[in-house]
Copies of this chain bind each other. A is one copy, B any other.
Amino acid sequence: MSTKTLHIDGDRLLTRLSELAKRGARDDGGCNRLAFTDADKEGRDLVTGWMRELGMAVSIDGIGNGVARRPGREEGPPVMIGSHIDTVRTGGRYDGNYGVLSGLEVVETLKDAGITTRRPLAVAFFSNEEGSRVAPDMMGSLVYVGGFGLEEAHAAVTIDGKRVGEELARIGYRGDAPTPGPVPYAYVELHIEQGPVLEAEGFRIGAVTGVQGISWTEVTVRGQSNHAGTTPMSYRHDAGYVAGEAAAFVRRLTKEMGGRQVGTVGSIVLEPNLVNVVAQKAVFTVDLRNTDEKLLQSAEARLDEFLGTIADAEAVEISTRRLARFEPVDFDPRMISLVEETARSLGATVMRLPAGAGHDAQMLARVCPAGMIFTPSVKGLSHNVREHTDPADLELGANVLLQTVLTLTETDPFKAASWRAS
């Protein structure tokens, strides 16, 4: 049979998405599977179970990345389909999960059709892509490609004060597969857009050109706790005020820079955090992103300048800690074209666009040709329990993934790197 007529089973994909969404389910319909929690373990158990049911050999490495392999007719590095199954605290069911479960859908479709691909296939979920419980985000894929040491990752401390290494052992996902992991022939990630562009512009598939640069900074302000009624304004060293003014500054910065510059103060914690006490301490985060590295550096420099000025003005002590820093990534032009052409061959409207969020694909792009396929997000809602993508778009995206992967397994667009079997 021609593989061109193969088609994934949309209902089966939706059923798996629903089943996984029950792990760490929130009362409001969303998902809360922060990395390395009990809920994350439940999600991992479910997905690795499915992988084994499909006859795949599953390996878990030291940071908990799961890689399931399906042999090809030939030896050599596999075409890897991957994403993540952890979520933010107020997550939906598609972010990450859609890419991993579509990978399983590709494998099951091939299995049902009795097809063994020429190159091997791998389906991977990478640990802690979100970084919501512990920085950096994309931790698992970064360790996989050798960009972050395993010991350093194990020593990272979660927002609830736990070490990653101990949490991995606790949930039974501190595996023995080596890191850095074996280099795939190519890497493809299917993901919801998480932004409003495809829907607003009327396209059903996005051929992702690259990923924005990301800069995360944690800012700690040490002022002086004092009585909110008796302390004249000029005597204050108010850490809470500094945090507030910083949030206002970040907004102003994005307005002045315009373009693709975005900025967010998503977390603020004050001490003692009481109505009638001037805060002695504030810890807040600043998330800056831009597709242009020079502009991102300029935004960082302006943040530093702001913090220096306000530290002097308020006579508070300000220290910063870099939680994550990734330069913008450009995907391999052949991968972008392949996704674009595959989508068109399936009759889909397709648009080239950059990813606003960080993705595991940008880490894999360091070691092999990598690309991404986007499907629309209704109203652009993301990291939100009301995140939604139309079922027909989910199915279309998985079919684009299937055909993209088949081109990569059956033809020779790239020269293969050496694959070390784990």
Contact = CB atoms under 8 A, between A and B. Distances in A.
Contact of A265 (B212, B241, B267): B241
Nearest to A280: B90
A289 B235 CA distance: 16
Contacts of A224: 381, 384
A116 to B, nearest CB: 38
A229 interface: yes
Nearest to A236: B264
A383 B241 contact: no
A273 B266 contact: yes
B277 A270 contact: no
A227 B273 contact: no
Contact of A194 (B193, B230, B250): B230
- How many copies the complex holds: the figure is 2
A285 interface: yes
A262 B89 contact: no
Interface string A98-134: 0000000000000000000000000000000011100
Contact of A267 (B214, B275, B380): B275
A227 B194 contact: yes
Given A287-B228, A381-B226, A264 B276 contact: yes
A248 B245 contact: yes
A59 interface: no
A376 interface: no
Contacts of A285: 275
A357 B230 contact: yes
Nearest to A135: B275
Interface string A260-287: 0011111111111111111110000101
A392 interface: no
Q: A-B pairs with the 10 shortest C-beta distances?
A: A244-B247, A230-B356, A195-B230, A227-B382, A228-B264, A275-B285, A229-B357, A244-B244, A194-B230, A89-B272
Given A195-B230, A229-B357, A230-B356, 9 more contacts: A90-B280, A193-B230, A226-B381, A226-B382, A227-B384, A240-B267, A266-B270, A267-B270, A276-B383
Interface of A: 88-90, 130-132, 135, 137, 193-196, 212, 214, 216, 218, 224-233, 235, 238, 240-241, 243-248, 250-251, 254-255, 262-280, 285, 287, 289, 323, 355-358, 380-385
